[in-house]
Homo-oligomer: A and B are copies of this chain.
């Protein structure tokens, strides 16, 4: 069953005040480390490096109450950030949440958001360790994540792809964009396509795959946030190489094909330019690590091709358009 909508009733942030808002967050997302000026964390691995990233979600831009739930938004905010940590080959250890919201926002929205964040950080054996709440206009959620990079192997940087390597992927590609298209189509979503909607509301990323890939010899990695061609293109550009994607390996599966037929949309547009799946895209010399599949080859040259030809869809996400 597809759930959408934000709670509209109950006491508001303005009615209960800042202390109660913070208490609601701590109830939904308890942490041993929360509650001081800053959180003090002991890295899981001695002498590890610290990895840090941040992502902001704005109501009406990255999510709309009609298409999702606060719980899903919380989970998505964590996945977006932790995918960036995983894409360095590191392990997410903590997140901090800053948000601004109108005083008229029901407290239940914040509680559900925090519960969503908590449920996802827990899947990573991580915690929400601090935050800042403030009054503003529309809901703005800013999550930052800290990770730990153990050992002496280099991080999975964008510029480390080399000709001759394989391009590997972990997770679905195009599902999130297809799910969004279904939700905004005005049509009723058939039960068998609910998985696509779910992928839009809460992208799925198995914890630890970035760390595994680094241990297995991966060199470059990123996550599919702006679109497959765009994101693989970033690796290609930074590494000074060309990526040739294998059309058969990334071709729309049955679910994407059926959604495309229902909406009259070419499902390749979701695969190549959709983004927001936050699944991992990397390069490696040897075999694809467990959980990854091979979707292309790194060659000398520049740009991104599919079976040697220019991709039909390339547009990525652009913030200020």
A: which residues have CB within 8 A of B?
13-14, 16-18, 21, 35-43, 46-47, 49-56, 58, 61-62, 83-85, 87-88, 90, 93-94, 96-100, 103, 129-138, 140, 142, 144-149, 155, 157-158, 221-223, 318-321
Asked if A38 and B94 make an inter-chain contact with CB atoms under 8 angstroms apart, the answer reads no
Within the complex, which residue of B158, B223, B319 is in contact with A134, where a contact is CB–CB below 8 Å? B319
Within the complex, which residue of B14, B58, B147 is in contact with A136, where a contact is CB–CB below 8 Å? B58
Asked if B84 and A37 make an inter-chain contact with CB atoms under 8 angstroms apart, the answer reads yes
Asked if A88 and B18 make an inter-chain contact with CB atoms under 8 angstroms apart, the answer reads no
Q: How far is the CB of A152 from the nearest CB of chain B, in Å? A: 11
Asked if A51 and B56 make an inter-chain contact with CB atoms under 8 angstroms apart, the answer reads no
Q: How far is the CB of A157 from the nearest CB of chain B, in Å? A: 6
* Across-interface contacts of A134 in B (CB, < 8 A): 56, 58, 61-62, 319
Q: How far is the CB of A207 from the nearest CB of chain B, in Å? A: 15
* Across-interface contacts of A53 in B (CB, < 8 A): 37-39, 96, 130
Nearest residue (CB) in B for A21 is B320
Q: Assuming A54-B144, A134-B319, is B49 touching A155 (CB within 8 A)?
A: no
CA distance A43 to B321 in the complex (A): 38
A52-B130, A103-B320 are known contacts; what are 7 more A-B pairs with Cβ within 8 Å? A54-B131, A58-B137, A61-B100, A61-B134, A61-B135, A137-B137, A146-B146
Q: How far is the CB of A258 from the nearest CB of chain B, in Å? A: 32
Asked if A37 and B96 make an inter-chain contact with CB atoms under 8 angstroms apart, the answer reads no
* Across-interface contacts of A221 in B (CB, < 8 A): 37
